[in-house]
Amino acid sequence: MAQIELPDRGQPLDISYLFRIAQEINRVSELIGTTLSKIKYRDNSTPSQLLTSNLAFYAETQKIVDANLSVQPNAPASFDYSGIFKTTPVVISSVTSVTGVSNLYAVLSGVTQNSCQVNVFSSATSGAFSADVSIIAIGERISS
């Protein structure tokens, strides 16, 4: 970027110096103008612009018991939160209170506006387990 020399104190300003300042200001303005034209804005409301007061929270825990863990996945735990969310919520799940085998992990599937399913898997190939599967769903609430 071009540097304009600073004048000495008491030095009279001449036309060529003022011209160079104006030229640099115009160049910077053009650079900013072309950069700003590449930025896109959304005018419509998006979920990221929701007020906290318009959010709904849903949490539930279910116990999963598998007497004979095998390579086949167990039946999913189904969570029903019908009538709470206006759109599909953000859902997270976790496995807690595990007894039996270790290294259990939860996999969400079929997340919709009204429900979701959670399968529990293990890196173990045999054995029995019992675990609690919890979900938290956060989304835009249905207006009353």
User: Which CATH number fits the domain that encloses residue 98?
Assistant: 2.60.40.2080
Q: What range defines the domain where residue 67 resides?
A: 52-140
pLDDT tens digits along 97-139: 788 777 788 889 889 999 999 888 777 767 777 888 899 999 9
pLDDT tens digits along 52-70: 778 899 999 988 877 665 5
Q: Which of 59, 78, 90, 81 is nearest to 118 (CA)?
A: 78
Rounded Cα distance, 137 and 60, in Å: 9
Cα three-residue angle 143-79-112, rounded to 5 degrees: 55
Q: Domain for residue 56, yes or no? A: yes
Q: Domain for residue 99, yes or no? A: yes
pLDDT tens digits along 7-46: 777 777 777 878 888 888 888 878 777 766 666 655 555 5
Q: Domain for residue 107, yes or no? A: yes
Rounded Cα distance, 49 and 43, in Å: 11
- Under 8 Å CB-to-CB from 74, ≥6 apart: which residues? 64, 66, 119, 120
Number of domains in the chain: 1
Strands (E), the chain: 55-69, 77-80, 90-100, 104-109, 115-122, 127-140
Q: Domain for residue 3, yes or no? A: no
Q: What pLDDT score does 138 carry? A: 92
Q: Domain for residue 26, yes or no? A: no
Q: Domain for residue 112, yes or no? A: yes
Per-residue burial over 90-120, b = 16 or more CB atoms within 10 Å of its CB, e = otherwise: ebebebeebebbeebebeeeebeeeebbbbb
